[in-house]
Structures are given as C-alpha cells and as structure tokens.
Chain A
Amino acid sequence: MKGLEDILAEHPFSRGLDRAHLSLLLGCATNVRFEAGASLFKAGESADRFYIVRAGQVAIEIHEPGRGRITVETVGEGDVVGWSWLVPPHRWLFDGRAVTLCRAIALDGACLRAKCDENHDLGYELLRRVATTVGERLAGARLQLLDIYGRSSRADP
C-alpha cells in the first residue's frame, strides 16, 4: 500500500516538488475519507485546510434560499479543492460536498502558511501551483458564463 509521501509525490498538484518541500508538505498532511453526501467545508467557515483529491468526486456549491443547492463545478481525482487557505481572510467562499465516496489528503492550511512564511521557496512553489488551479477554474467559469452551447448557428442564421 502506498504511503502518504508516495501519494503526494505522484499527485498532479505536488508532482515534481523537491524532496525537502515534499517533506514539509507531508508534515501538514492527513489521509481523509468522506462518504457520499458528506460536507468537506461550508461557505463562511474558516478555511483552515485544503484537499488533494485521490478518488471520488466533490461538488463546489452555493446555497440560495428558494433554489436550493447550486453546483458550480465538480472536481475529482487529480484535482485540488480549496485555495481560500492561502489568501486572507482565509474563509471558504463556497460549500464543498462529496458527491461520491471521496478519498483525499487534507493539508493543514495554518501549518503550511507558517512553513511558507519561513521558507519562501516553498511558498513560491505552492503559490505557483495554486495560481495555476485558480487560473484554470477562472477560465472554466468564464466559459460557463459564455453559454457557448447556446442557440446560435452559422448554418441556419
């Protein structure tokens, strides 16, 4: 069975980190599991951790009275959930809920922030990787807003 170090070394988010940085990451990592329907975090709560998803599917949601839960995006194996731990005010902006049984590695945000303050190389590496994820999510959200599958047609104008 793979240990946490191997899992982190192979996950797309942390792949390529040097051994020293991986070791620092490992010190803040815990294996976690969520049953389908379980909450990972709620909007407004303190964002004290983030998740590296190993298996399963997580919905990023927001709740609106009268409309219920609105899923903005789903993420799964190979993805990262959460970047609010890195930037003030360190509060979740959306809800996270396991859609299926989800296995992940939880990383303690406060623990990592302290290590990043001490080790700026680690901070730069993590910020670069989180920024890549944020950029992908932003591009995805913009495309969703464009409603690209709408009713326009060049074949029958």
Chain B
Amino acid sequence: MIGQAPERLDPMVPRPHRIHDVRQETSDTFTLELKSLDADVAHDSFAPGQFNMLYAFGVGEAAISIAGDPGRRGVFVHTIRAVGAVTRALARMEGGETVGVRGPFGRGWPVDEAAGRDVVLVAGGIGIAPLRSLVYGLLAHRERYGRISIAYGARTPGDVLFATELDEWRNRGGIEVAVSVDRATESWHGHVGVVTTLLRRFSFDPPETIAMICGPEIMTRYVAGELIARDVVPGAIHVALERNMKCGVGLCGHCQLGPAFVCREGPVFPFDSVERWLGIEEL
C-alpha cells in the first residue's frame, strides 16, 4: 500500500498541529503528540512505517517516522532524537506550541504479508520508533500472526527507549523481546553485545518468517546477513531506510537511492531490492 497525503490536501503545504503532549524519553530523545488544528482530524491516520515531514517554523523540516498506535486516529506520535538543527528546535518546543506537518508519506511495513507467518522485528537505536507503530498494529490482531520476536539494540542502558512497553509486550502481548546494549553499566543485567547475537535466542521457522529491520544501515546489513544465513528468504526481509528526505513526494530527488526515491517507494523496502545500493559509498 502506498500511503500519500489525502489528495485534496496539497502535500507541499504544512498543516498546523498543536503539541498536545511532550515526553522526555532519554537524555537526547523525546516524544511529541500532535493534534491537528483543523476540525477535520480524520486525515490524521497512517500506516505503520510511514513518516511525516515536521516543520519547526523558522528553522526547517525533517522527516520523522510515526511511532504511535495506528488505531488511535486524530493524533500523530513522533519519537525524535535531537541530532540536527530541526530536531533540536523541536526538542526546545513545549506543549501548546504549533508545528507544521506534511504527510503521512511513503510505503510502510508489509503488515498484510505478515499474516500467518512468524514475525521477527529488529531495531537499533531510534529505529525502535517506527517499529513501535508496527507492534501496535500487530497486537491489534495478534491472532493473525505466528510467533512474534523483537530484538532491540541500544547504545547504553540509558538509551533504551519504551522500556515499559517492551515489558508489556513481553508479558502480555505474547511477544518474545530481547534487548542488548553495546556498553553496559554495573546495574544492567541484560544482554551486552551486537543485536545480531539476539537472533539466535529466538525460535522461529525461517522459511515461514517475515523480518522487518529498522536501524543504522550497518546494523541492517549485518542483521539481514544473519537472517539469510538462518534461511530466511531475502525477499521476506524488509528494511526501513533513512535518507535526506525533502519534498516527501518523489519530486526533488534528494533521497534518491538507485532507481528509487526513498520518500515515495520507501522508506520500507524488501532487502533484496536495495541490497546492491546499500554497499555503495556515499549513495
């Protein structure tokens, strides 16, 4: 499914949204809940994996994936790490202030393809955010899927996002959840090491498995390689890519990757369709 901003809205014009809630998740990561100032809030629906262009007025726009529950209409939830000019400006904003929103844009996770299969989700760092909306989508129809496993890698224990929800998914959602950090503190009793090592802890039926990966591209390549080594079909591995999205609708070319525009054909791609492009420097 390709989700585009509704036709009768100009996708190039930001729509004002009020910050309804702000949550500080970690030292550099925060979550914004946005509600439209338009009366017609029905437009604020999305498919897991899609993104919005968030406009900090006077500063600029950045592509931010949607991290909220797709069943909760009329609200956009974005979990954002403050890394550049736009995201740092968003980090300084408070409840009640207004941001511009264009979107949702892009092709999301292949939820329909996952029906009847085991599902392996692998996230690294802030990559857990777009997978969070997917998990909510899967949990809404838990009976449709086989085993669901989530491997999540973070830099340090202090960088682990959505810790409470990870516990809930593990305890009440019937999901196998494993978290690993690269650098541990003495109080951390979980896994330490690269996220790929978590995959061998999961039980899934490789030929009947669909995998979805979101994180740094280096991690994505290693995880895909590990899954393929375990006999997961390359075409059943889907990866979310991050590029310098600008227009969001495949016009400007800033996010071109080989023959595809990441904002329009992606950000989620079957791994075998982009693998050859991922190895090329500076592409």
Contact = CB atoms under 8 A, between A and B. Distances in A.
A69 B86 contact: no
A76 B201 contact: yes
Interface in A47-64: 57, 59
Nearest to B182: A144
B155 A140 contact: no
A136 B245 CA distance: 35
A136 B62 CA distance: 37
Contacts, number: 89
A29 B128 CA distance: 42
A156 B184 contact: no
Given A71-B184, A147-B155, A156-B87, A77 B242 contact: no
Contacts of A75: 193, 197
Contacts of B274: none
Interface in B187-241: 188-194, 196-197, 200-201, 215-216, 218-219, 222
A144 B193 contact: yes
Given A73-B192, A74-B191, A154-B242, A149 B184 contact: no
Nearest to B159: A149
B153 interface: yes
B244 A154 contact: yes
Contact of A70 (B126, B153, B155, B184): B184
Interface string A59-94: 100000000111111111110000000000000000
B243 interface: yes
B186 A153 contact: no
A41 to B, nearest CB: 18
B268 interface: no
A153 B87 contact: yes
Contacts of B218: 143, 146, 148
Contacts of A139: 194, 222
A155 interface: yes
Interface stretch (B13-21, B39-47, B77-85, B103-111): B77-85
A151 interface: yes
Nearest to B83: A153
B189 A99 contact: yes
A156 B243 contact: no
Contacts of B189: 99
Interface of A: 12, 57, 59, 68-78, 99, 136, 139-140, 143-144, 146-157
